Structures are given as structure tokens and as C-alpha cells.
Amino acid sequence: MAEDLKYAVEMRNVTKRFGDVLANDSISLTVESGSIHAIIGENGAGKSTAMNILYGFYKADSGEILIAGQARAIENPGDAIRLGLGMVHQHFMLVEPLTVTENIILGAESGSSVAIDFKQSRARVRELSTQYKLRIDADARIESLSVGQQQRVEILKTLYRGAQILILDEPTAVLTPQEVGEMFAILRSLRDGGKTIIIITHKLAEVLSLSDRITVMRDGRVVGNLSTEEATAEGLARLMVGREVLLRVEKTESKPENAVLTVENLTLESSTVHGSLSDVSFEVRGGEILGIAGVEGNGQTELIEIIAGLRPQTRGEILLEGNSIDRLDTRRRKNLGIAHIPEDRHRRGLLLDFDLAANSILGVHRNSPLSGKVLLNEQVIAERANKLVREYDVRPPNIRLPARALSGGNQQKLIVAREFDIKPKLILVSQPTRGVDIGAIEFIHKKLIELRDSGAAILLVSAELDEILSLSDRVIVMYEGRVVGQVDPRSVGEAEIGLMMTGGKR
């Protein structure tokens, strides 16, 4: 069987065009049966497009798809499911108040046309969960499950529908280090059970430890096809970006000066644990990067937004260079030199339908010489925008394009350019490289270090533990709205910090 079905999936010369953009340029790839196949590439490289074509979300303009050796026309996800494909999206598609079993059978109910055979369905869910060591309680409600468990429910859902080929889109983006380990074990056991796994990712370390084969994409084309044994992180990064990339953050010892930001007993009362803060105190000095490690949703978002003036605290004090800023609104705080790179650039950071020039003045648009008493100073704005776009290498460098037209990395570079241009004393940085390609990550990291070295205080929040540990000079860990500890980023082990992040150690 393994011989005649060597390839579970074959894509031949698949091309897909969106308007002027060639998202997939005659890509060809083969996925061996019973293997874990990674597809890597920067944002906009076309990997998600390729998988969405495979799963029937998009229709290819030309090209062929073979499933288990036979050419197939996949018109919609229903066709894909019937052919044994299953997809786990980055954003889960689960109904929170329903149980695991109810979610899994949704749309694939067994039994007669009227009654649902819950008993049989539940038994099947249990059986699958045990078989692949997913450890999911078939009767648990989704809302009571952790993010990692919810993801496993998504996998169960595809298995329940008979998937032989699983496509996972950035599966580790939402997981803690421990959960990542568990997920890898599950994926390996699925492979050993005969399933074929396709995983889309941009994290090189994960690719190297998990996959059997790797397809590298860049600018809509397949630029590399290799077995994991012959791959190195540097080599993959070079293929992805098309040039040499510095994977390590290069920095010197920090030379901390006086405290720039002091947070004292900051408390935010909230009806849920997620989104509350209790007695958070710390300080950030000029010339250092303080990292906040923690699983998302443990108060980091609220903390940053309170400091930026976007929401009020219940109690506690915030001092900038010794002066309370509690009474100041967002604009005044910005004018005092607090820059903010928000965690969600689409929701907070950009006016997507406005052009780059307009986005380049958001937050400083009332300052001279960008605007006068009444009118915006369009010429000054355009000159400044052109300068920022050039200095921060935002592509395409056309300030009349809407921000929506840019890739994630270039959008982020635009925000970084805008925020760094105010010569900040304090920089609040949240998820600076989420959804950003390697080239832009390298650039943003370098800029952050540069600003640190010029004396700015930087408060960094990131879900990427690697990023926190490699950039920060000091790291505090947050769990359920509290600071549960401080660690030295140079010496701490992943296991130790992971335990703190999940409340295991105080």
C-alpha cells in the first residue's frame, strides 16, 4: 500500500491570481503519505493560499490537484472533506457553550434524519481521543477548555469526519511552550497512526524538530523542497527571505539609567480573572528592555493599554520620570514621549482604508508642523511620510496606497516608523513581530535595540517566548493579572519559565 500510494497529495503547476497579485505562481509540491510535511514561508509567500486551494476555499486558475494519486476537482470544503482532507485553522471554529461532542458532530450528525444518535457519536469521539492520545473529555464544554485543548478538539473534529490528511495553519501560534510539546507528540502519534500531516508555519525551530519534509515558498513560488535531515535553520531562512538573515539578536550589555516608567500597585478590577490586574508594580529604566512573559490573556493587554491611557485603572499609580500621568489622556501621554506599538495592528494600530500618509500622522496629527490651527499641512505630511517610508523600508514605498494593501510586515514597519519618529522616552511594545516575516522581524528587533542603546525605556510584551528572552534585559512573568516572578533571560530555562507562565510556580 505504501508503494502505490506514495503521495497523499500532489499539487501540479497550481496558479492563483488575485487581481494584480500572483498569489501562487505555478506551484508544485508533493506530500508523502504518512509523513509530517511543513510548508514554510514569509507572510504573503502564498502558503495559506495554496492550502486554501487544496481545501476548496479558493479555486485555482490553473493546475492540477491529485489526492492519493488521482486527479480531483475540489470545488468547496465539502469536496475536500469527502476526499479525506481536514483543516485546523488558526482561529478555532467552535461553539463555546456546547460540549465537545456536540461541536464535533455539528454538521456531520449521525442517526436518523430527526434524532441525533448522541450515544454512538460520543463513543466514537472517546475512541478517537484515546487512540491518538488527545485526552479530551467528550462531555466538557468548550468554554471550560484551554486554548490547547480547544485546538485538540479541532483536530478531533477532522478525525471524526474521516480525515486522512490534516492541514494545520500555524498551530503553535496560540500555545504555551508546554502545550507546543504536547501538540508535537500528538502530531507524531497521528503520523505513526498512518495520517498525513501538512503544517503551515514560519517558526524554523519547530519545523526542524517536527517535520519529515519541508517545502519553502517565497513570493508565490516554491523555492525549495528538501528533507528535514538536510535542512538547517540558516539555510531555510535564506531560502524564505532570499538573502542572508541574522537569526540571533545581536546586542551588547544594557546600561540602565534612571527609572523612566514606574508602575505602582496597578489594579484593574474585572468580572473575570482574564483581563484583571492585581497590584502590579515594576519599573523600566532608560536604556533597558523589560520583557513581560506570560500566556496571552493574563493581563498584559490591559496593562499596556492602561499605561498608554486607553483605559482607566481601578487603583494604583503610573509615573513617567517621577511624575504621575494618571490624569493625562492618550494624546498628552504620547506628547510626553510614550510610543505604543499595539498588539493588534489592524484593530488598533492602523486606519486600513486610509493611505500611508494619513496613517503616518495618526496620534501626532495635531502637532505642528503636521497641522496648523485648522488645516492639515499636506505637504509636510507627505514629505515626512516619504522620509519614514524610505528610512524604515516600507514596501511598496507609495504613500498614497491604503494601509490595507501592505503585507503584515510592512504594515508593522509603518507603525514602528510612526511611533519611533516621536523620539520616545518610553516605548510600549506589544507583539511587535506577530504575523511579520523574518526580514521585518530582524529589522524591528534591530531598531528596538538601537532605541534602547540611545537611552529609551522599552516595555515588551510578546507571546513568543524566544523573542522575550532574546531581546529583554530583564523579564517578569505575569499570570492571572499578577507579576509572579522575575527571571534572568540569559540563564532561565524554558521549562522553568513555562511553569511560571502557567501558574505552577510562584
Partner 1 sequence: MKKLVRELMFPLVAVIAAFLVGGVIVWIVGDSPLLVYELFFTSAFGTIDGIGYTLFYATPLIFTGLAVSVAFKCGLFNIGAEGQLVAAAFATAWIGLVVPESWPALAVTLLAMLAAVVVGGVWAGIPGVLKARFGAHEVITTIMMNFIAAGIVSYLTQYHYRKQGDPILETLPIAEMKDGVLTGPHIPRMHDLLAPFGINFPERLPLNLAFLFALAACVLVYVFLWKTKWGFELRAVGSNPSAAEYGGISIARNTIIAMALSGMLAGMVGINDVLGYRYRYYDGFSAGYGFTGIAVALLGRNHPVGVLLAALLFGALARSQLFIDIFTDKVSKDWVVILQAIIILFVACEAVFRMKSKRKAA
- Please say which residue, 255 or 332, places its beta carbon nearer to partner 1: 332
Q: Establish if 425 lies at the interface with partner 1 (CB under 8 A).
A: no
| Residues binding partner 1: number (CB under 8 A) | 31
Q: Establish if 194 lies at the interface with partner 1 (CB under 8 A).
A: no
Closest Cα partner for 335 from 306, 363, 303?
363
- Please say which residue, 285 or 413, places its beta carbon nearer to partner 1: 413
Q: Establish if 329 lies at the interface with partner 1 (CB under 8 A).
A: yes
The one-character DSSP state at 253 is -
Instruction: Find the shortest distance in angstroms from Cβ 345 to partner 1.
Output: 9
Given the rule CB under 8 A, which of 125-133, 295-303, 316-324, 346-354 is the region that contacts partner 1?
346-354
Q: Establish if 19 lies at the interface with partner 1 (CB under 8 A).
A: yes
CA–CA separation, 313 and 177 (whole Å): 31
CA–CA separation, 303 and 23 (whole Å): 38
Residue by residue, DSSP assigns 446-499 as: HHHHHHHHTT-EEEEE-S-HHHHHHH-SEEEEEETTEEEEEE-TTT--HHHHHH
Report residue 81: phi and psi, to 5°: -65, -40
Residues 375-414 that bind partner 1 (CB under 8 A): 375-376, 378
Given the rule CB under 8 A, which of 102-110, 155-163, 248-256, 334-342 is the region that contacts partner 1?
334-342
Show the CA angle centred on residue 175, arms to residues 434 and 307, nearest 5°: 55
Residues 151-170 that bind partner 1 (CB under 8 A): none
Residues 31-70: x/- map of binding to partner 1 (CB under 8 A)?
----------------------------------------
Q: Establish if 347 lies at the interface with partner 1 (CB under 8 A).
A: yes
- Please say which residue, 361 or 444, places its beta carbon nearer to partner 1: 361
Instruction: Find the shortest distance in angstroms from Cβ 277 to partner 1.
Output: 20
Q: Establish if 362 lies at the interface with partner 1 (CB under 8 A).
A: yes
Contact with partner 1 (CB under 8 A) among 30, 189, 330, 386? 330
C-alpha grid cell, residue 470: 532574546
CA–CA separation, 383 and 185 (whole Å): 53
CA–CA separation, 444 and 432 (whole Å): 8
- Please say which residue, 30 or 398, places its beta carbon nearer to partner 1: 398
- Please say which residue, 366 or 387, places its beta carbon nearer to partner 1: 366
The residues that bridge with 261 in the sheet, in sequence order, are: 284, 320
Closest Cα partner for 366 from 355, 376, 379, 351?
376
How far is the CA of 443 from the CAs of 67, 180, 287, 413, 447, in angstroms?
A: 40, 27, 19, 9, 6
Q: Site residues (CB under 8 A) for partner 1?
A: 18-19, 308-310, 329-332, 334, 340, 342, 347-354, 358, 361-363, 365-366, 371, 374-376, 378
